[in-house]
Structure 1
Amino acid sequence: MSDTILVIGATGTTGSRVAARLTAAGHQVRAASRHGSPVPGAESVSFDWYKPGAYPGVLDSVGRVYLIPPPGDMAPAAVMLPFLERARAAGLYRAVLLGSSAIPQGGPACGVVHEALPGLFEQWAVLRPSWFMQNFTGAHVHAKSIEEDGVIMTATGDGRVGFVDADDIAAVAVHALTGEHAPNTDLVLTGPEPLSHDDIAAIITQVTGRTVVHRRLSYERMRDRLAAQMPLEYAAMLAGMDRAIAEGAEDRVTGTVQRITGRPPRSFRALLEQETRRTFLGVPMR
């Protein structure tokens, strides 16, 4: 049985962490990204969802795959399902898909791929994490507005979210990829507590010493702000997710990280405090 694990999006927020954990554990990893950027300990290959001519080489001797949908695509099933059918024919037997807590099986975007997985593979899992803590520390629009203006702008109002650390997502993904049996279910992943964006701003202020505030926008203003950086349809979907948060859709925590990994999920404050030897958002940590 093929034992190479293909990690798609291997230089991204979760893919890089999944690839690093797998290689550290001694697994044979093929790290796929659009530019084939080197990933320590892995075989790095170029991969583009929209260039199917390269699929056969990428799938050679692959038994398992970590799937990250093409970013910004409202209908990723159009490219993902043909790839997965070819993967199954090539001998791939387990697929782990990165989805979203906001998108159920059969829902829009990756929800269509989620619905198709059980019919394609006997072993599968869908990870449905809540919003990433790294949205406030990486290249996300929130991180940029914090760095430039000390502001987080959302249409979430007082709504709370069980923000989750990308390291915890990766830890669950590795278990789903390498465990004796795949969960064959969707796993909703959250951090240890639901936080509002006011709470997030207060924690960043306390830990970094830089004042950060949450500015509340209407759905329309949030949509238009995002539309300056991405297609309008995708901006409307994201702004709609903010509105759902305001209505309580993400105000929950689950025990999935603890159950799968054997340890509790990391809190947002702990994530920031572990950055004390680095510079966070241009401000030396206390």
Structure 2
Amino acid sequence: MTPTGSTLVIGATGTTGGRTAARLSAAGHRVAAASRQGTPVPGTEPVAFDWYAPATHAAALDGADRVYLVPPLGDPDPARVMLPFLRQARAAGVHRAVLLSSSAVPEGGPAVGAVHQALPDLFDQWAVLRPSWFMQNFTGTHAHAVSIREDGVIATAAGSGRVAFVDAEDIAAVAVHALTCEHAPNTDLVLTGPEALSHDDVATAVTEVTGRPVVHRRLSRAQLRDRLAQLMPAEFAAMLADMDRAIAEGAEDRVTDTVQRLTGRPAGSLRAVLEREARRGD
């Protein structure tokens, strides 16, 4: 199904937003690529957008009939700014919304869980993507990737808990499907990679692919919270530390077939992503 209006992609220079915008554009869809600076994304229309600057919202919504929503980073209460925007989007003619959430955050849960809960009452067509932790956390600008490059360390409070890490390319592929398919999913979609791995497994894979020795340093929940609090608001740091503790207790030890079922191809493996990023000089 080809949308008649444009698709507003919020966070269009980010990990999933950039990939989603690029895939939509490559498939011939009109894309308004929203970011704080209105940075150009090839094949899209750049638009300035800031969750905390309501004056930017109307122009971003102009002509859009669907929207990909990346919540404001590090905000423990994103509903405060997102729900007024979503009501404005509905009034402006947006009829389909696809929200990026997390496998660790259920409907009605903390942070973006409140937005997830509200979405079905706001739009007749909607989907909530709940990806597992990103494989790109180990290759890009995430704290794990920086620690790997600078110290040869992945520091977590996840213990030996396993996570089916997911490729951001697969998240974007599912996002495009949810935004453009004839019938909106109208459900939440848990996205994972093909296998559940511990952070010790990840450290081994990074070592083998890059040739740089990497180890997993096991922290307590309090140690991780304090470490993260140096980088972000304390409340959000505590929430992330709690998520690591949940991983240690087995909360993310699951594999779903959602990527293959919706895109027609298997989810990418961690090793394939590490090798791909290494070829790019990451």
TM range (shorter): over 0.9
Which sections of structure 2, spanning at least 5 residues, go unmatched? none
2:92 is aligned with 1:93: no
Deviations 1:135-164 (A, max 9, x none): 000111100110000000000000000100
Calculate percent identity across the aligned residue pairs: 72
The corresponding residue for 1:166 is 168
Aligned residue-pair number: 280
Which whole-Å CA distance do the structure 2 matches of 1:275 and 1:225 have between them? 27
CA RMSD of aligned residues (A): 0.9
Which whole-Å CA distance do the structure 2 matches of 1:182 and 1:86 have between them? 21
Which whole-Å CA distance do the structure 2 matches of 1:215 and 1:168 have between them? 28
Which whole-Å CA distance do the structure 2 matches of 1:272 and 1:54 have between them? 37
Runs of 4+ in 1 over 6 A off after TM superposition: none
2:16 is aligned with 1:6: no
2:54 is aligned with 1:52: yes
Which sections of structure 1, spanning at least 5 residues, go unmatched? 281-286
Match of 1:146 among 145, 148, 173: 148
Which whole-Å CA distance do the structure 2 matches of 1:269 and 1:161 have between them? 14
- Tell me which amino acid in the other structure corresponds to 2:113: G
Which whole-Å CA distance do the structure 2 matches of 1:278 and 1:84 have between them? 37
Preserved CA contact (<8 Å) 1:2 1:61: no
Match of 1:224 among 226, 245, 253: 226
The corresponding residue for 1:106 is 108
Which whole-Å CA distance do the structure 2 matches of 1:100 and 1:183 have between them? 17
The corresponding residue for 2:38 is 36
Which whole-Å CA distance do the structure 1 matches of 2:261 and 2:280 have between them? 31
Preserved CA contact (<8 Å) 1:14 1:167: yes
SS at match of 2:15: coil
Structure 1 residue 55 displacement after superposition: 1.4
Preserved CA contact (<8 Å) 2:210 2:278: no
Structure 1 residue 276 displacement after superposition: 4.8
Map 1:73-92; keep pairs closer than 5 Å. 73-92=75-94
Alignment TM-score, normalising by the size of structure 2: 0.98
Preserved CA contact (<8 Å) 1:3 1:62: yes
The corresponding residue for 2:20 is 18
Alignment TM-score, normalising by the size of structure 1: 0.96
Deviations 1:58-97 (A, max 9, x none): 1111100000000011111111011010110111000000
- Tell me which amino acid in the other structure corresponds to 1:44: P
Which whole-Å CA distance do the structure 1 matches of 2:252 and 2:166 have between them? 12
